[in-house]
Amino acid sequence: MASYFISDLHLEPGQPQILRGLQHLLGQLQAGDKLYLLGDIFEYWIGDDVSNGFVDGIKTLLREHSQRGITLYFMHGNRDFLVGQSFCQQSGATLLPDPSIVDVNGEKVLLMHGDSLCTRDTAYMQFRQMARNPQWQAMFLGKTPQERIEFANAARKESQAKGQQNMAAAAEILDVTPEEVPLIMAQHGVTTLIHGHTHRPAVHNLQVNGQAARRIVLGDWYNKGWMLHNRAGELQLESFELN
Ligand code: MN
């Protein structure tokens, strides 16, 4: 029984090779395996009540694999934080809070999407605080689907305009704040952290309270797929082709 960790697929109808990659990965898993979906699985998500053939297909895919004994966990990313219980029930997945601690090979491991570690992006941190508020979410989900799409497009345009003004600063801000990492790991009493979001797949060695520790960063699925798994025992970060 192995655990698999993926994030930042950014699934959307216009990139069918990403969905094929997910189908292929799910096909490799065996009953009893666990798959952790650690955020930004979808390019955007404006509410469980707004569905289409693409989303229905993904729900069906996930449900089929959950029904054959794959345990699915879903953590929110900054793009799909509005995924709710309805989607999870229909997919056979369990919603996992960010952060969460899980057992991997008998070790306590901290899981996060990773956006909350990027504290130098103060504008985003403000948006995050607002958008994770249940009252804001109720207000947003109370709008018509068309209004929600317009709101999301306007927000994306605004952030793109800001990005073009200061690409250098934006590129730096997109990574985690190095000082945040040992603090949050010490707070949770772990020496392994797994997260995505930054699209910088790597294994970083560090010290937490004088102990050897590691931060494993998952990759995005834009050009190839990335996964972390322990099917051969130790955790291993691996990339694969998307066709
Ligand atoms: Mn993200």
Domain of 96: which CATH number? 3.60.21.10
Ligand 1 centroid vs 40 CA: distance in angstroms?
5
* pLDDT confidence bin for 169, thresholds 50/70/90: low
Whole-number Å distance between alpha carbons of 228 and 238: 6
Residue 234, helix vs strand vs coil: coil
Whole-number Å distance between alpha carbons of 69 and 191: 30
Q: Residue 172: its pLDDT value, please? A: 54
Ligand 1 centroid vs 97 CA: distance in angstroms?
15
Q: Residue 203: its pLDDT value, please? A: 98
Ligand 1 centroid vs 142 CA: distance in angstroms?
24
Which tens digit of pLDDT belongs to each residue from 9-67? 999 999 999 999 999 999 999 999 999 999 999 999 999 999 899 999 999 999 999 99
> Computed over its alpha carbons, how large is the radius of gyration of the chain?
18
Residue 112, helix vs strand vs coil: coil
Ligand 1 centroid vs 140 CA: distance in angstroms?
20
* Exposed/middle/buried for residue 63 (C-beta within 10 Å: 0-12, 13-18, 19+): middle
Q: Could you tell me the pTM of the whole model? A: 0.94
Task: Print the domain residue range for 12.
Answer: 3-240
Whole-number Å distance between alpha carbons of 78 and 88: 17
* Exposed/middle/buried for residue 102 (C-beta within 10 Å: 0-12, 13-18, 19+): middle
Whole-number Å distance between alpha carbons of 197 and 114: 5
% of the chain with per-residue pLDDT over 70: 95
Q: Which helix (H) or strand (E) holds 4?
A: strand 3-6
Ligand 1 centroid vs 129 CA: distance in angstroms?
15
Is 90 exceeded by the pLDDT of residue 216?
Answer: yes
Q: Residue 164: its pLDDT value, please? A: 53
Surrounding residues of ion ligand 1, Cβ less than 5 A: 40, 77-78, 197
Ligand 1 centroid vs 138 CA: distance in angstroms?
22
Whole-number Å distance between alpha carbons of 217 and 204: 8
Q: Residue 163: its pLDDT value, please? A: 58
* Exposed/middle/buried for residue 93 (C-beta within 10 Å: 0-12, 13-18, 19+): buried
Q: Into how many domains does the chain fold? A: 1
Q: Residue 143: its pLDDT value, please? A: 97
> Are 9 and 224 within 8 A, CB to CB?
no
Ligand 1 centroid vs 115 CA: distance in angstroms?
6
Q: Residue 174: its pLDDT value, please? A: 77
Q: Rounded to an integer, what is the distance from CA 29 to the centroid of its chain?
A: 19
Counting every residue written for the chain, the total comes to 243
**φ and ψ of 88, to 5 deg:** -65, -40
Whole-number Å distance between alpha carbons of 222 and 225: 7
Q: Which helix (H) or strand (E) holds 93?
A: strand 93-96
> Are 70 and 27 within 8 A, CB to CB?
no
Average pLDDT for residues 171-188, to the nearest whole number? 88
* pLDDT confidence bin for 154, thresholds 50/70/90: confident
Ligand 1 centroid vs 42 CA: distance in angstroms?
10
Amino acid of residue 215: R
